[in-house]
Amino acid sequence: MKILVGYDGSNAAKEAMDLARKSAQAFQATVSVVTSMVKGTEENQKEIEQAERGLEYAQSIFEKSKIDCKTHLLIRGMSPGEDLVKFAQDNGIQQIFVGVKRRSKMGKLLMGSTAQYVILNAPCPVVTIK
């Protein structure tokens, strides 16, 4: 089984990662932890370094549990939701775990929702956690 975890360093993403770890143990799955950024210019270097540190942290969590884990920092000009769905399609992912941030209805309307996009467009089951 192949599991994808959308990771942005938030508490919700950490909860999703923990649930994915438990599922990976139960099903002897491999895990891909993915962080998506729209831009990766020199102006974004600080954010890129922060994302890389977050991915290193995520990989250490899975390694402690002896779970095969690969991390991916995607900077392809897509929204995070599009990036996660495309990665899942391209890599035969069988289950996606994402954290859900609480937002007002107006916030979702203006900013969109990564989790909502993934739920509606993913090629496989999606598990969300708050």
Q: What is the domain range of residue 69? A: 2-129
pLDDT at 112: 57
pLDDT at 39: 80
Q: What is the pLDDT of residues 73-129, one digit of tens each?
A: 999 999 999 999 999 999 999 999 999 876 666 555 444 588 889 999 999 999 999
Q: What does the angle CA 101 – CA 58 – CA 95 come to, to the nearest 5 degrees? A: 65
Query: Rounded to whole angstroms, how far apart are CA atoms 32 and 111?
Result: 26
**Number of domains forming the structure of the chain:** 1
Which residues, in sequence order, are bridge partners of residue 4?
32, 96
| pTM score, whole prediction | 0.90
- Which one-letter DSSP state was computed for residue 101? -
Q: What average pLDDT does range 63-75 have in this prediction?
A: 96
Query: Rounded to whole angstroms, how far apart are CA atoms 55 and 8?
Result: 9
Q: What is the pLDDT of residues 14-65, one digit of tens each?
A: 999 999 999 999 999 999 999 999 887 777 889 999 999 999 999 999 999 9
pLDDT at 110: 42
Structure tokens at 126: 């999606």
Q: CATH number for the domain including 65?
A: 3.40.50.620
Q: Return the sign of the alpha-carbon dihedral for residues 66, 72, 73, 78.
A: negative
